[in-house]
A and B are shown apart, each in its own frame.
Chain A
Amino acid sequence: MTSDHVTADLPVFAVFLVCALFLAVWAAPHRGTVTEFYVSDGRLTPAHNGLALFGDVMSAAALLGSPGLIALTGYDGTLSVLGPAVSWVVVLLLVAEPYHGKGQFTIGDRMARRLRPRAVHLSAGIATLLVCLMYLTAQLVGASALTVGILGTSGRGMEQGVAAVLGALMILYIVLGGMGAATLVQTLKAVLLLVGGTALALAVLSRFDWNPGALLSAAADHSGHGERFLQPGLRFGDGGTTRLDSASEQLALLIGAAGLPHLLMRINAVPSRRDARRSVQYAALLTCAFYVAAGVLGFGAAALVGTDAIAADNPSGNTAVLLLAAEIGGSLLLSLVACLAFATVLAVVAGITLAAATSLAHDIYGAVITRGTVSEQRELFVTRVAAVVVGTSATLLAMFAGGLNVSFLIGLAFAVAASAIAPALLYSMFWQGFTTRGAMWSIYGGLATSVSLMCLSPQISGSATAVLPDLDFSVFPLRNPAIVSVPVGFLLGWLGSAPFRAASRAARSEDRITRGVSPRG
């Protein structure tokens, strides 16, 4: 792509950002309560919240990554859109309704309903912060890498600037508007994403006389792989390790969605359990619909642009949709899709920053440091400071890590969510014998297992695409630790609870008796 797109892109993008910023100020909280700042008083309608929830899940990976993977690897790429869709079934069945609670904002709050508050607030807060920081950094790095994809070689050197601008905007949104602003940006982006994705998919189909069969045939013809493009095997190849690797990645996607802090936070932005369920329903339906369009875009890119051209432009295929847009509608459409991609990143990082700031202020500062004695005004102030701190550190990390291959961070964020947060959360909601000790073991154990296995994996060292390609200490053969660390998280939760269960039950009934007798109840 050439540099004349710069002139077309930048004004459009700048106008969009300014508009969005004004919207954030307009949506800013007026009453200054924490409930309003964290969850918009829990007053969103299910449809609105569902749309925003859909937006939270649709990161740049969904708009650019999945179609790109399909364009490069055909059938194997389509597997990447199935996992997120199916994970909604898990969230709807196990998490949406039991997680909802009035006056609760964080994962620590939910666990503290039955466990010792201070300990679970601290551990859940640490896990939340880690997941959010990794996810944030990966999104910001992805966005700055996208700049090069859009602006071509002239975009080099602007990468860090883009990360800084996006980081500053996301901090500003959250500090000014809290959940209200995050929801607004997310809604705006979700609508644009749906409209844009559908329109682009329809434009692709119209090129093939509305015949999906012709689209698939053309994709296979232009992919350079022929019939094999539509069959399994291009991405994962043979061998037991790759097979285990793909199973591990899918496990992380499936379970991890039930432990992502920014998704869980949205569940409390509606008035009732029924509305929480309805929000997730809306989000799941929109996700399914969007992924059909993403499939059309992926195969369309292979058919119209050609797999070789896509791989030549970007080896990971992230620019496939941009190339497709340029092919269909020229530079104007390219600019629009590029803006859409930046809006997507911005909305997602804003949501994550809010979740991280809430956890830092409410869990760590509010419940652990001040033991719940902090005033509402002060907690609100701390939240805003926390948003600045978290946002700045993620932006700095992203600028520092710009030259490294940090694609493993998304996988690691999902793996930590799946092995440290999800087991303890599910146990605390569904197993009465779960103890605080079990929660500690599960959270810290899952966290340590997933992070240390990732450090020993070929993602960090010992392969050409690793973060540290010159070193080799990769003892663990898989690229995603979930298949080991998720069972470890669940097992530790059980081990920490079951053997001590009888003792704790006796203590609890004793506790109940003394409470029943005491005059203060």
Chain B
Amino acid sequence: MYPQSRPPQQDALAAVILYLSRLDHGRLYSDDELARAMNDCYASFGSLDTLSLRYGRSLSSEGTEARARRERRAWASRVAADLARRHPHARSVPIASGTTLSAALEAAGVPRRARAAHRRALLAGAPVIALYLLISGSANAARDFMALPVAGPLNVGLGLGLLQLVAVAAWVLWYGRYSETSLDPLLESLGTSTEELRHRS
């Protein structure tokens, strides 16, 4: 497979960090300089999933600098392969060992977190549906309870009905925001979708 068409997650972690570091891909560096820059870059991102997210977006973004980005990716992969060959057991630069980004994500538990986030969204929807089942069930079974007055002519039954509509609207708004801020970035960093995630598990 050509490196350009390879999914970003298949690249070596060291190459990803080199790509995102402040190093200039037109110059030569000593191992010390490389290690320092890579450590700085890695520390500045904090977590692997933001790193992967940024890498994927940078590679897939359209623009005039596509050629420069291709060159930088090739350079990063070359340097990373060289580092891995010369320091197969490098301890001072743990990121220089030859793991791929997806293996590193797996090891850091990102797929597990994405599955948990998706499960949380499903669980949050359950009470809304449960409320509906409760309302339609107790309309038949617990009539006296549904007829209890709440405020003026409003009784428990009508109040619950109104609450149901509000709950659906609130859940829909919450789910949208939750997906945008929590679920989507995790999935995008993995380069996958919820169903593939579930199929793999």
Contacts and interface: CB of A to CB of B under 8 A. Distances in A.
Interface in A229-279: 230-233, 236, 242-243, 246-247, 250, 254, 273-274, 277-278
Given A231-B143, A285-B173, A216 B158 contact: yes
A23 interface: no
A429 B129 contact: no
**Most A Cβ at <10 Å: residue of B122, B143, B153:** B153
Nearest to A250: B136
Contacts of A232: 139-140, 143, 146-147, 157
A230 B155 contact: yes
Interface residues of chain A: helix, strand, loop or mixed (majority): helix
Contacts, number: 124
A79 B136 CA distance: 7
B-side interface size class: 35 or more
B195 interface: yes
Contacts of B68: none
Contacts of B180: 274
Nearest to B140: A243
B158 A78 contact: yes
Contact of A89 (B147, B172, B194): B172
A213 interface: yes
A326 interface: no
A212 B129 CA distance: 27
Given A93-B122, A220-B153, A88 B168 contact: yes
A239 to B, nearest CB: 10
A92 B175 contact: yes
Interface in A197-244: 212-213, 216-217, 220, 227, 230-233, 236, 242-243
B172 A75 contact: no
Interface residues of chain B: helix, strand, loop or mixed (majority): helix
Contacts of B75: none
A-side interface size class: 35 or more
A133 to B, nearest CB: 29
B190 to A, nearest CB: 14
Contacts of A358: none
Interface in A61-82: 75-76, 78-79, 81-82
A432 interface: yes
Interface string A86-101: 1011101100011000
Interface of B: 121-122, 125, 128-129, 132, 135-137, 139-140, 143, 146-147, 151-155, 157-158, 161-162, 164-166, 168-169, 171-173, 175-176, 179-180, 184, 193-195, 198-199
Counting from the closest, the 10 A-B pairs by CB-CB distance are A216-B153, A213-B152, A231-B147, A232-B139, A288-B169, A86-B132, A284-B172, A243-B140, A217-B153, A288-B165
Given A83-B136, A254-B129, A292-B162, 4 more contacts: A78-B161, A247-B136, A278-B176, A289-B169
18 contacts: A79-B161, A82-B161, A85-B164, A89-B125, A89-B172, A98-B194, A98-B195, A213-B154, A230-B155, A232-B146, A236-B140, A247-B136, A247-B137, A278-B176, A284-B168, A284-B169, A429-B195, A430-B195
